[in-house]
Amino acid sequence: MQTKFQALTELCEKLEGTSKRTLMVDLVANFLKKLRVDEVEPATSMMLGRAFPKWNQRTLEVSWATLSGVIKRLTNIEWKSFSEAFSKTGDIGSTAKVVFETTKIQKQATLLEKPLTILEVRRSLEAIAEATGSGSRERKERLLKTLLGTATPLEVKYIVKVLVGEMRTGFHEGLMELAVSKAFDVPHNAVQTASMLTGDIGEVAKTAKVQGKEGVLKIRFRFFRPVKPMLAQTAQNVNEALREHGGETAFEYKLDGARIQIHKSGDIIRFFSRRLTDVTKSLPEVVQLVRNEVVARKAVLEGEVIAVGEDGNPLPFQHLMRRFRRVHDIEVMVKQIPVELYLFDLIYLNGQSLTTTPYVERREKLRERAGSIPLTKQIITNSPKEAEKFLKKAMNRGHEGLVAKKLDSLYTPGVRGKRWFKIKMSLEPLDLVIVAAEYGYGRRHGWLSDYHLAAQEPDTGRFLMVGKTFKGLTDKEIIWMTKQLRDLAVREERGVVVVVPQIVVEVAYNEIQESPKYECGMALRFARITRIRNDKSPREADTIQRIKEIYEKQFRAKDRYLPF
């Protein structure tokens, strides 16, 4: 017998209502035990706010304008009422629930009135994703109307949350790994490793239910299923990196480009972005380069693609993102925005995982297999003076800074630790999410050009404001941003347009200071947008905790309060 979707939504309500992590893990573990095998992955994905597994390249392609239009037609609600409900809840899913509870819904006619199941919701999401080409928007709207029209208000709440990718229950992937471990009696470290290798905890959960510990331990790399990239912490300077790495480390240029994971199996080459999205079609000349130069039958490599100008110097990140967003007329874009590939890691080679191989050995193997493809420029040193000189050289050449890599560091997919540090000469910029925008003045009249910046609170999933800025974007970018934000608009009041938190921007600032103005108690001083991060999702943006850490670090070198 199939599990009702209502059971999943009731579980999510319990998760939303508690901050006790142990209780959360217990609730989810008990739920997973009761599911059918074919329900485990869909339920796991949806609990984490995803329609499909991470490795799955299908996308819903449902804009907020489309979804809000369906809600309007189903409920016959005045949008002002929806906006008022949103101002009280601050959550799109909760607002949809309130609206569906308080209005007369145009129920879809069915031969047999029966409750939705987890698998039926997944099939509906698949049908929405598969609606492409001419007339796809109308087909998506019909499918959404049927799905929401047959759901209870509570089910609507969580269907909408999945559709916009914003769950906000406080139950994140790390807790899901604990729940899977507990539900199926598999060691936690085995679940973590398998999740890293598959790039998706839902698939691991299904394997654990069917095959237990033995099945999870057998999980290996799967070609053309990207793994989560290893991440770096931020170091204040080269001295901190040297100290943490035992006095000697490898420094590499941190390029101002897009990180890609390269899967090569024979002549088949595919590239994946840091969001695990397939971007192969955007980079045809790089595909040919890898096919011709990489000396390996099967390999998984990591590299950075940068856009370059006529003088050979790096172009701003936004130029590169134009390549990644383009799906038509690729040949034209190849000529307009040439790119270069630099390799920096090798994590799988001819049947052997290299994730447990020390970094210096991986680098040497990469050098042997890279052909004429350059590796990121590197020095290995124990001298702070030499490292500082190398950092300045990187910055002068238009790069972002350095990455310091511990010589014996293993490759840990998806983990941010002290084995790798990123170092810049200025304060580390923050990746923040735009939650609202205001219309500008003068020549910016009519354009949304003053942006409200927020970071996510990990325990609740809420986005809390940390500042505002109208600086940094070009006129062309402001026009693009206005169109995107209008499509994401939930309500407008006194010139402020509140939006679904979807767009991530990189923000520079001079300082983080205390502020009673914002709920988080902090504010960015002299914030300015340095680039639009189309390569990052809101879940990958910086958190309130990260901002607190930077705030505290400021006072290692100066007094917390000024004398008056």
The length of the chain, given as a count of residues: 564
Helix or strand run (H / E) with residue 399: none
Rg from Cα positions in the chain? 24
Measured between alpha carbons, how far is 323 from 530 in angstroms, rounded to an integer? 19
Measured between alpha carbons, how far is 147 from 170 in angstroms, rounded to an integer? 26
Report the alpha-carbon angle 388-345-57, nearest 5. Answer: 125
Question: With the CA atoms of 276, 260, 274 and 219 taken in that order, what torsion angle do they form, in degrees rounded to the nearest 10?
Answer: 50
Q: How many angstroms separate the first and last alpha carbons of the chain? A: 71
Burial 249-263 (b: 16+ CB within 10 A, else e): bbbbbbbbbbbbbbb
SS3 458: coil
Measured between alpha carbons, how far is 352 from 350 in angstroms, rounded to an integer? 6
Q: Which residues contact 527 (CB under 8 A, 6 or more apart)?
A: 453, 467, 468, 469, 471, 507, 508, 509
- Nearest in space to 54 (alpha carbons), one of 44, 64, 67: 44
Burial 158-193 (b: 16+ CB within 10 A, else e): bbbbbbbbbbbbbbbbebbbbbbbbbbebeeebbbb
Measured between alpha carbons, how far is 28 from 369 in angstroms, rounded to an integer? 45
Other beta carbons within 10 Å of 284: 13
Measured between alpha carbons, how far is 242 from 324 in angstroms, rounded to an integer? 35
Give yes or no for a contact between 62 and 133, defined as CB atoms under 8 angstroms apart. no
- Nearest in space to 545 (alpha carbons), one of 460, 467, 455, 462: 455
Give yes or no for a contact between 418 and 333, defined as CB atoms under 8 angstroms apart. no
Catalytic residues: 254
CA distances from 227 to 38, 263, 283, 358 (A): 23, 10, 20, 19
For tokens 């698998």, the residue is 119
Q: Which residues contact 1 (CB under 8 A, 6 or more apart)?
A: none
Measured between alpha carbons, how far is 530 from 318 in angstroms, rounded to an integer? 10
